[in-house]
Structure 1
């Protein structure tokens, strides 16, 4: 007896129905399905009685590679109907593809990814021949809307055509050879009973050829390397994750529509699509009238007739709804016309239509489903620390119990577990506030995320440490990233990693060429050195050595920076601020050379080839360290107060010597005088940089500056009273525009000349 090969498109209701009908009719001895062969001993777990969609998630980790992949299944997946129909007729059901961790699938994130990119030329030609926009519309036109008669032959012809003589990649060849080995063995063992083989249509032509000759013994299951950590678990999935419009790389878009198509057929699916879109739009306050719906239905039916569809297809209904509900020109193409991820800037009605077709169904695992140890460990820890519910949580990091809770939440944050958000807390640089504010919320995506993170470790600390170690290995020498990871390791309480990152940063500092990245490293290291009682890193000497090396390197880099007028660089300014903080707080205990730093600051401040923001920062560095400016600050300000330079120079100055400027007599008055002297055009040129510069003052100090300037301008009138206007800002702006138009008209007519 030979095998019956059914090539399918993943997540196709038409293919799923064909698979179920074929298995029911043939009652085969074996049903062989494209899927991870290492799950065969656990097929009973897969068939426990879950609410679909679900997925088989496999995590793999060794010394060189980390990989995670999914094999999603929904009610209308042909692979799922093959499993369930095969079980119902008493067949031996087997997955026959290589395990997900295998190198042949190293680049595969979703096992059931259609291979359309590999035969794009053929599908593009077919789309032109059938006058459809993309492969999704082509598939609906050929298979989903058409009657089921002759479907198997049409599918075989289609996949033979699109595969053609295309040369396959070595990875595909390895998978197809392994699956063909399973087919030969099953056919030999079945004797005169049928065998049904269900795989992606791309693989079908090759399997038909390979199944004729070769070894007919059962293939061995490949084993992972001895040092690898491999785990496969079932995870709840969702229609949102399954939807091609949301970025899923395989299968069909609009899963809620295809669920209707699977359950009720094309006529009811079209009606259900219209109802879903209408309900969603009305729920968001978008008016959808009965007349709109009549127009949409008439347009959809007319398009279906023109396009040769017995029933309106998905694109017919969507085009009809768009025609009836969107009355203006669109800036982006309709997403169902282009395929793939929905593009930014789409019309709100179109975005809601796509969301309605995606649906909000979320899978649920059977209570008896095995879960990785991390899931149970996190649940136990959240329950033990009182963090199992939803709401806002405030933590005092000076209390051991709250510090323990903070570390647990940070570990979950590093693992990207949904529903765990830190609103405020200690950050790198400055004086960290020893308190944190978190918002915890329930999320349908939390369990899948925990299951997927289970490959990193059995408890939150081990898993977070593995994630951070992986990120460290992936970014050698990147000081920006390493500084952030150093801070995360401290917040998570992973002391061993803190030492590792310090070693990596110490090597990177010696070769650093970017002043901004070096400054972030210095700010993080200084904060953790100063506040070790809060972070508990225990790395005092190592942090001190890193700080001293970073200060020396930053000053050396600053003296070599050259460049004309350019937007102020906040990272470069931040580096100078970090040098100032290190000299203020750590000069004596770490032996930092303040005298040498002042010499660098004075030279950079006087160097006209240096960027204006760096010159202002250097001037401010010297002013803040000495307590008095090395040169007349008023003269320095006047010398740089041109429209192209003023704001950038002041940004550097304010960042380093904000308090000195605020409390030096006459400085604010001088700035007011210089701004007043600008022409209108000059002021507009300088305004963006000036706004950036004054942004270095916190709100309270900006209010103080405004009040002082109002008093200066009004001769003592209460500043706050004048700054509180009864009129709205919009009305004030409109009045200013009117004044400008009147002034322009008067000048044009020669009525005013000044």
Structure 2
């Protein structure tokens, strides 16, 4: 499609006009959909026919110097252009490309044929400046809202809001996607399916772009430009004005066949009758920031609309299949279903050759019935569900993840400009044989091996830099202090930006992680946070960071008397002793700190347990239990002795919360510090008839500690609990019942079953001694009068005759 863009050229005099028109370059506009394989296929054919000598593409102009790399053998889509502000790396934007993206094919065609290619969208220097101003405005508004006193707003004030600015939650689909107007006119439910059928999945042709231009012109004329805010409308006007200016500049340079590739919605605006003077006035005085650009790997998952990408698509994996089979459309269905069958067989699901033949026939029949030239994704999904999975939608989930979306991760050449930190990471990945992959995978590290230990150090260092490439399992072998760590790895494209942000801390991963950890020590707001930093720095093998964090922890602990904070520092430090020497870390670096903190925490524990309400006591219980496990893991003589002495004080302390007193008693009993007789005496005291029932129930909850073993195997404890419950009055029993039920609800199902069985066994002898009772009767003594009370109602409900007047209960 061509258009002699006389309208945007400067006006000529009447004498010069005929000559000017003859010499005017031919400007050809190609309206495309970002990441559309049908558009890309048609665009390549159109370029082969047109042979443009200049290619202008909607994209960031700051990246023009990087376009020559598109033909590099090491450049493997999907990839993205990352533009960011070096002074504030969080100000960044990605422009992704896949093999089937029309812009990518246009760039490759231009590079292969020696035609200059340029990006013509509004420069990122302005776009990021606008974004920075918007962020600062939102932050200022939030701070003002916090500082200002609350103001009651009259309900009528809502009517003052411009309804055109605020998007409606239930806005019709055609307002959010203008293509829906055309789709519904053609009998489709939504614009996505209509566009796929008419453009992306059909046979290509150069006449496609003329049809797209006609459709977009009609839509914009009918609907107008719809934007959620005035700021968004202004930004869109600036973008289109800048693109028109770039087209005029290429025309003035003397190119004869200019190809302009842009989003289809922009076509009417780029061909509109707008003067250069008006566009220049609109673009004058725009704010700017410094910008740098580079190529980064991308993933298909981040091309989807679900990832938050504004121009996202629903099925990048399917689009890739369309692109790869466009020269043999007859193999589209067979090839796709063969990939589905391979996935099913890998998961030991039945899928024979007969299944494939029937599914292919069904997909082609559905396409014929719907007057489509070849089966689309809808037909193939219906055929797979009907024939391959027998109607089971659950089996289609992994097909969607693996094929419809895909887990492909691109690659960029080593010559791509990047920061030294990223180069260091790439070298470590190569040396340690840790390849970044978009798919999630499990990695079992044996820390006795040098390579696996170095891998663990790298992953922990990246976590300190806020690059969570992997997460270590908290259960299984990783959690039991063995030589193993089980990691789940998944590389995300945004990690490239995080590495750029982290580069201010150092040029290597080790340097940056050390500096970042040291900075976080100064920012830490609690002892627990500092303790966690010590643990993380040790796991990452950062000696300087460990020394800094340890010193900060000691200094902060010396100034605090908060026992809860001191207790919270113990578990992370105790992790140092989990692996011993297998990590090749020096436990002595923190052992004296841990012992000192444990002693200080033990001294402050009795005071911390007094004067608490129920919620505070519940919170402190978890801290005490974690600290107890940490001290047991450390197994230092002085710290252990001081801790057990503190627990003894809490167990007998009058002002301590009963929940914590029960916990302390149970911990001392389990540790062998208290005998069964001592624990029984404490239980008898706290569950006596004179004890307040609510306090007794709280003590019992703490003593049982969500573990029924002591009830099951200690007859003394069982008898004390049984006697206490039996002696409660009806009023007191109703008061403590919710607390007791909450205590027993924490037991495992098997423990509850064993408790029920033991209760029935204990009830047997009493029942046998009762009149008419038997040893097998598990319901206790039979009260005939009470049992007869519901009988009249039951007779009425069941339609039985009334009983005799003598009250016969038979």
The TM-score range, normalised by the shorter chain, is 0.5 to 0.7
Deviation at 1:74, TM superposition (A): 1.8
Residue from 116, 132, 146 that aligns with 1:92 = 116
Q: Report 1:497-512 matches (<5 A).
A: 499=548
Question: Which SS does the other structure have where 1:235 is aligned?
Answer: strand
Change in 2 beyond 3 A, CA 1:382/1:89: closer
1 CA distance for matches of 2:377 and 2:662?
62
Residue from 598, 616, 629 that aligns with 2:662 = 616
* Equivalent residues of 1:502, 1:546 under 8 A apart: no
2 CA distance for matches of 1:628 and 1:548?
21
1 CA distance for matches of 2:602 and 2:661?
18
| Residue of structure 1 equivalent to 2:295 | 234
Q: How many residue pairs get matched?
A: 658
Question: Which SS does the other structure have where 2:747 is aligned?
Answer: helix
1:257 aligns with 2:303: no
Residue from 657, 666, 689 that aligns with 2:746 = 689
CA offset digits 1:35-82 (Å, max 9, x no partner): 332221222223323453131353757787635654322221011012
User: Normalised by the size of structure 2, how large is the TM-score?
Assistant: 0.62
Moved more, 310-319 or 599-608: 599-608
Change in 2 beyond 3 A, CA 1:322/1:174: same
CA offset digits 1:108-128 (Å, max 9, x no partner): 9xxxxxxx9995264566665
Q: Report 1:695-734 matches (<5 A).
A: none
| Residue of structure 1 equivalent to 2:613 | 562
Deviation at 1:152, TM superposition (A): 1.9
* Equivalent residues of 2:666, 2:704 under 8 A apart: yes
1:102 aligns with 2:131: no
Unaligned 5+ segments in structure 1 are 109-115, 331-346, 696-704, 714-741
| Residue of structure 1 equivalent to 2:680 | 634
Q: Report 1:340-355 matches (<5 A).
A: 347-355=394-402
| Residue of structure 2 equivalent to 1:573 | 622
| Residue of structure 2 equivalent to 1:137 | 193
2 CA distance for matches of 1:199 and 1:263?
23
Change in 2 beyond 3 A, CA 1:602/1:579: farther
1:363 aligns with 2:410: yes
Question: Which SS does the other structure have where 2:58 is aligned?
Answer: strand
* Equivalent residues of 2:333, 2:360 under 8 A apart: no
| Residue of structure 2 equivalent to 1:459 | 508
1:72 aligns with 2:96: yes
Q: Report 1:137-286 matches (<5 A).
A: 137-148=193-204, 150-159=207-216, 161=219, 164-167=224-227, 169=229, 170=231, 173-174=234-235, 177=238, 180-181=241-242, 183-191=244-252, 193-208=256-271, 212=276, 213-215=278-280, 224=289, 232-239=293-300, 241-243=302-304, 250-265=311-326, 266-286=329-349
| Residue of structure 2 equivalent to 1:338 | none
Change in 2 beyond 3 A, CA 1:635/1:128: farther
User: Normalised by the size of structure 1, how large is the TM-score?
Assistant: 0.65
1 CA distance for matches of 2:402 and 2:85?
35
Deviation at 1:272, TM superposition (A): 2.3
2 CA distance for matches of 1:498 and 1:506?
12
Change in 2 beyond 3 A, CA 1:300/1:203: same
* Equivalent residues of 1:32, 1:198 under 8 A apart: yes
* Equivalent residues of 2:77, 2:98 under 8 A apart: yes
Deviation at 1:140, TM superposition (A): 0.9
Change in 2 beyond 3 A, CA 1:597/1:70: same
Question: Which SS does the other structure have where 1:214 is aligned?
Answer: helix
Moved more, 262-271 or 363-372: 363-372
Change in 2 beyond 3 A, CA 1:214/1:657: closer
* Equivalent residues of 1:6, 1:197 under 8 A apart: yes
2 CA distance for matches of 1:554 and 1:202?
68
Deviation at 1:84, TM superposition (A): 1.8
* Equivalent residues of 1:421, 1:440 under 8 A apart: yes
| Residue of structure 2 equivalent to 1:120 | 176
Deviation at 1:14, TM superposition (A): 1.8
Deviation at 1:12, TM superposition (A): 0.2
Change in 2 beyond 3 A, CA 1:276/1:600: same
1:489 aligns with 2:537: yes
Change in 2 beyond 3 A, CA 1:189/1:405: closer
CA RMSD of aligned residues (A): 6.3
Q: Report 1:300-339 matches (<5 A).
A: 300-328=363-391
Change in 2 beyond 3 A, CA 1:325/1:121: same
Q: Report 1:37-48 matches (<5 A).
A: 37-48=61-72
Change in 2 beyond 3 A, CA 1:616/1:286: same
Question: Which SS does the other structure have where 1:288 is aligned?
Answer: coil
CA offset digits 1:466-518 (Å, max 9, x no partner): 76689889x97588766544532343317458757986999899999996x88
Change in 2 beyond 3 A, CA 1:322/1:40: same
Moved more, 161-170 or 308-317: 161-170
| Residue of structure 2 equivalent to 1:717 | none
CA offset digits 1:541-580 (Å, max 9, x no partner): 998998788778876664454349x9x9688423354279
Deviation at 1:244, TM superposition (A): 5.3
Q: Report 1:588-627 matches (<5 A).
A: 602-603=652-653, 607=657, 612=659, 614-620=660-666, 627=673
Question: Which SS does the other structure have where 2:313 is aligned?
Answer: coil
Change in 2 beyond 3 A, CA 1:629/1:235: same
2 CA distance for matches of 1:320 and 1:361?
25
Change in 2 beyond 3 A, CA 1:357/1:487: same
* Equivalent residues of 1:647, 1:692 under 8 A apart: no
Change in 2 beyond 3 A, CA 1:218/1:357: same
1:670 aligns with 2:721: no
Question: Which SS does the other structure have where 2:349 is aligned?
Answer: coil
Question: Which SS does the other structure have where 2:748 is aligned?
Answer: helix
Change in 2 beyond 3 A, CA 1:527/1:251: closer
Unaligned 5+ segments in structure 2 are 6-26, 136-171, 437-441, 727-736, 763-776, 788-810
* Equivalent residues of 1:185, 1:217 under 8 A apart: no
* Equivalent residues of 1:28, 1:194 under 8 A apart: yes
2 CA distance for matches of 1:529 and 1:152?
68
2 CA distance for matches of 1:234 and 1:357?
25
Change in 2 beyond 3 A, CA 1:395/1:166: same
Deviation at 1:655, TM superposition (A): 7.0
Deviation at 1:315, TM superposition (A): 1.1
Q: Larger Cα Rg: Structure 1 or Structure 2?
A: 2
* Equivalent residues of 1:483, 1:521 under 8 A apart: yes
2 CA distance for matches of 1:187 and 1:534?
66
| Residue of structure 2 equivalent to 1:720 | none
1:373 aligns with 2:420: yes
